[in-house]
Structure formats: C-alpha cells, structure tokens
Chain A
C-alpha cells in the first residue's frame, strides 16, 4: 500500500500498562498525541504515517510530469488540482506524524537519504497520457481500498487525516476513470494506448498491497493496535473484484490469463504479481527510483534559499514590531 511492509517495533513497556492500552483500543477509544502509548506503537506509527506521507509527495512526480502535456486546458487544470491535493495529503500526514514527536525536517531528510521508503508504485514511469488515466483509476483506486478502513484507525490524528484524504480521493479515481473512458471510446490508437497502460500498471497496482501477510507476526501486532485494519490479501481481493467490472465496461482486458470468477468464494481468482520484481523495486532498482529521489533532493536543495529567506524576513519583521512597542 502507500505504506508497505511496515514491521511493528518491539515494545518493552510495563505489561500492566500495555494491557490497559490494548483494552482502550479494543473499546475503540482513540489514542491522542499526549496519551501514554507503547514505544513500539509510537515508532511503528511514525514509520507508517511517514511512509504514507512520502508516498503522497513522491506520487506528485509521475503525474506532475504530464501537467504541461495534458491534451486540453480543462484536463490540465483538473490534473493540476489533483496534484495539488496530493501535496495537501502529504501535509496532513506529515502533521499527524509530527504529533508523535518526530520533526518535519527529520522526516524529509530520511526520505531524501533513502532511509525511509515510499510506495513502490511511484517508481514506475508514466509514459503517455493514458497512464495518467490508469494511475488515477488503478493507483488511487488501490489507495482508497486501504485508506477507507484506516479512517477507523486507533490513532486520532492519523484517523482525522485519513477522513480528510478520503473525502478528496474519490475525485482522483473518477478523474482517472474519466480519462480511461475517453481513451477507450476513442480511436483505435487511443484504445491501444489505454490497453497498454492497463497492461503495464495492473501488476504494479496489485503489488501496492504488499505480499501476502497472512502469517506475519508484524501484521498481527499492527492489526491488534488497529493501525492496520485488513490483511494485504483481503484488500487486494477487494480491489480485483471491484476493478474487473470497471475494466469490462471500458472494453479493456485485464492482463491475466488466470482471471476467473470463483463462485465459491464470491470473488475472482487472479495471478499474483512477480514478487521478486516488487522486492527489487523496494531495494531501489525500479525504473524510476533514482529519478524520483534526485527530483526530491533537487527541490529541497533549490528551495533552501526561499525557506531561509522567508524565515529571515519573518524574524526581521518580528524584531521591528517588538522595537516599535
């Protein structure tokens, strides 16, 4: 997902306090920033929310790539609005992470140094306009699958950020599907582009949910803490079941020969993505890993004088105001 393979941190707190904490979570009482919480809970959340925030920010790059090349002025304005939303989503999430005691600059530096990850999906390229449609439809669609249940997560600030994000996210998926509809109903060449985008982005989208975690210890702990609400497989299944009819409506074919309706489970059987590719992308060997980090580092470095200048100006004004009083 936007936060993939989050390992839960070991906790060495007082067992009595841990029991009380778990009881409150089981009762659906939200944990708030200044409440007592296990160190493991705090650290795991910083990693998860941080990774989620980084994904929103890096996720602007593949789409921003097409703002200047959108086919019409209206499409350009819509895409610009979507990319602005992603910046907002990153901000809400960074702010939620900061309530756990990590600084914004610290999180940024950990992204820029490669110490913290972002979702594997954003290391794939957007090669043509149909990819922008497919990203909105599939990538935002997959993100919604994960984010809707996270609105009920146990940590108050994270839950509130998710509620804001979900409100805005369905615009994103619809704008993607709208592009796909246009392409799929267009000329033969446009239809081919739409199918090609689906072919390339289908498996990377399935990878977003992370590998099967049915037997993962971390997953069990994170689910008990309600910072993970469903298993990766549950969400992936839901995503496939929702997406197949949408592809059919477009007249496009999901690139999976094994895709069949399974009456017994009431869902589709589908092929797993190539997990070795997933791990390779996480390691930094995806098509765009280097580009993405270079772009983020450049933006941070090139913006330093602006950040410093505004700060200096604010301090000067404050000093002048104090002197005048």
Chain B
C-alpha cells in the first residue's frame, strides 16, 4: 500500500483582524498543497483572509493529566481580574 499523506492542522484568520483560529485538519503531501486544500475546504464561504498550516506531528501539546497542576494556580488568584477591586461609583468609569 502507498504511504498516507501527512496530517496538517489548519488555522484561519477571519475578516475582522482576529487571530488565526484552528478550524480543522486535512491530509496533504506538502505545505503548499495543504494551503491549497485548506482554501478549498475551509474558506468556501468567505471564512478567511489568511491561512496557516502546520504539520500535526510538529505540534507539542500539554497533557490532559496535568490539568490540575497546570491551571490550579491561576484559580486562586482572583485579584488578577478587574472585578476583584471595588471602585466607588463617584469615581466614574474605570
């Protein structure tokens, strides 16, 4: 059997200046074809103005089992949110 094309992850930036967002994946022999295929599949209805493709095996990801130790520290730091601080109404908008 012939070799399967590698898997690419596709990121697209929409019209309004937002960051590129992961939209899905596809198989392609190389980056150039991955971009062409992503254009055909993921921007058929004006969804984007810029495409990034990354070969899936080049992505490193955090491990789900570390969820606790990784994100717990931020849970206790509620003073990082502006709503933590009470500002008197007289002060006006801040």
User: Which residues of A are in contact with B by a Cβ distance under 8 Å?
Assistant: 32, 34-36, 81, 84-85, 87-88, 91-92, 95, 98, 103-105, 160-161, 164, 168, 304, 307-308, 310-311, 313-314, 317-318
Contacts and interface: CB of A to CB of B under 8 A. Distances in A.
A164 B2 contact: no
Instruction: Specify the main secondary structure of chain A where it touches its partner.
Output: helix
8 contacts: A34-B63, A85-B44, A95-B24, A103-B4, A104-B4, A105-B1, A105-B4, A313-B30
B2 to A, nearest CB: 5
Instruction: Specify the main secondary structure of chain B where it touches its partner.
Output: loop
B2 A304 contact: yes
Nearest to A304: B2
B9 to A, nearest CB: 10
B29 A314 contact: yes
A70 B61 CA distance: 48
Q: Which of B1, B4, B61, B63 has the most CB of A within 10 A?
A: B4
A314 B26 CA distance: 16
A98 B30 CA distance: 19
Contact of B5 (A36, A81, A92, A307): A307
Given A34-B63, A34-B64, A88-B41, A307 B24 contact: no
B33 A310 contact: yes
Nearest to B23: A164
Contacts of B30: 310, 313-314, 317-318
B44 to A, nearest CB: 7
Interface of B: 1-5, 7, 24-27, 29-30, 33, 40-41, 44-45, 61, 63-64
Contact of B44 (A84, A160, A310, A317): A84
Nearest to A35: B64
Nearest to A99: B25
Contacts of B44: 81, 84-85, 88
A311 B5 contact: yes
A84 B30 CA distance: 22
A95 B27 CA distance: 9
Given A95-B24, A318-B30, A307 B63 contact: no
Contact of B26 (A32, A35, A95, A310): A95
A34 B61 contact: yes
